[in-house]
Amino acid sequence: MNRFQRVAANRKGRDLAVGDIHGHFLRLQACLDQVGFDPEVDRLFSVGDLVDRGPYSEQALEWLARPWFHAVQGNHEALAVTYLHGGRLDLDMYRAAGGGWFLDLPSAEQLRFVDIFLTLPIGMEVVTRNGLVGLLHADSPFADWPTLRDSLEARDDAEVREVCQWSRRRLREGDTHAVAGLHALLVGHTPVLQVKQLGNVWHLDTAGWSSGHFSLLDLDRLAVVSPMPGA
């Protein structure tokens, strides 16, 4: 299991990132079509939470099998892992958070999903023209990226994972401190009305899985390339 993954630069096409998907792969595909996403050369990076809440969580495995799609593990993938591999889990909460599709799968199917979810790194960095762009589901527990990278590579620290996948502190406090050692850090987990930048941390979950819209961020330019709703 690799808890940290480094991805080399894309010399052929665009690198785009998207916030939480939560089973809404058809809406996501429509958004990719709108910006002319080319799977031959372009790549899509996900900050995790591919499953639960929405209608097509089962498609997560097909998407994760695509060579141009890269994702970190969100707290919802972690919930599935915890369910099969033990650990504290409030089943009523999990079901209320959209996990019913998974809980009701035959156990062999659950295992198929969890085996793939376990291959997803907690943290990822992508080499871009303007430097390293990091991806986490929620937030960095450290003020500098190399410390987090070293931690994830060296040991499985439950407290580190907890912040990476669950924290809402930065948005709650409006913390604008940068995460050193990165050009930008891309996160999701907490819905925002529009892509929100705090320091060098970009919050991408604009609730495309709910009543909002998906936002596609170009990693090189740090610009939203998908049209705003109504525009």
To Mn ion, the closest distance from the beta carbon of 49 in angstroms equals: 4
Residue 138 or 222: the one with the smaller Cβ distance to Mn ion is 138
To Mn ion, the closest distance from the beta carbon of 166 in angstroms equals: 7
To Mn ion, the closest distance from the beta carbon of 22 in angstroms equals: 8
- Told to check if 70 binds Mn ion by CB under 5 A, we report no
Cα(181)–Cα(71) distance, integer angstroms: 21
- Told to check if 15 binds Mn ion by CB under 5 A, we report no
Task: Using the structure block, give the residue that is written with the tokens 């529009």.
Answer: 194
To Mn ion, the closest distance from the beta carbon of 35 in angstroms equals: 24
Helices and strands in the chain: count of H runs, count of E runs: 9, 11
Residue 31 or 136: the one with the smaller Cβ distance to Mn ion is 136
- Told to check if 24 binds Mn ion by CB under 5 A, we report no
- Told to check if 139 binds Mn ion by CB under 5 A, we report no
To Mn ion, the closest distance from the beta carbon of 129 in angstroms equals: 29
DSSP codes, 143-159: SBHHHHHHHHHH---HH
User: Cβ contacts of residue 16 below 8 Å, gap of 6+?
Assistant: 32, 35, 37, 42, 43, 44, 45, 216, 217, 218, 219, 225
| Partners of residue 150 on adjacent β-strands | none
Cα(199)–Cα(131) distance, integer angstroms: 16
CB-nearest residue to Mn ion: 189
Task: Using the structure block, give the residue that is written with the tokens 């891309």.
Answer: 186
Q: One symbol per residue from 185 to 214: x for binding Mn ion (CB under 5 A), - otherwise; what is it?
A: ----x-------------------------
- Told to check if 75 binds Mn ion by CB under 5 A, we report yes
Residues in contact with Mn ion by the rule CB under 5 A: 49, 74-75, 189
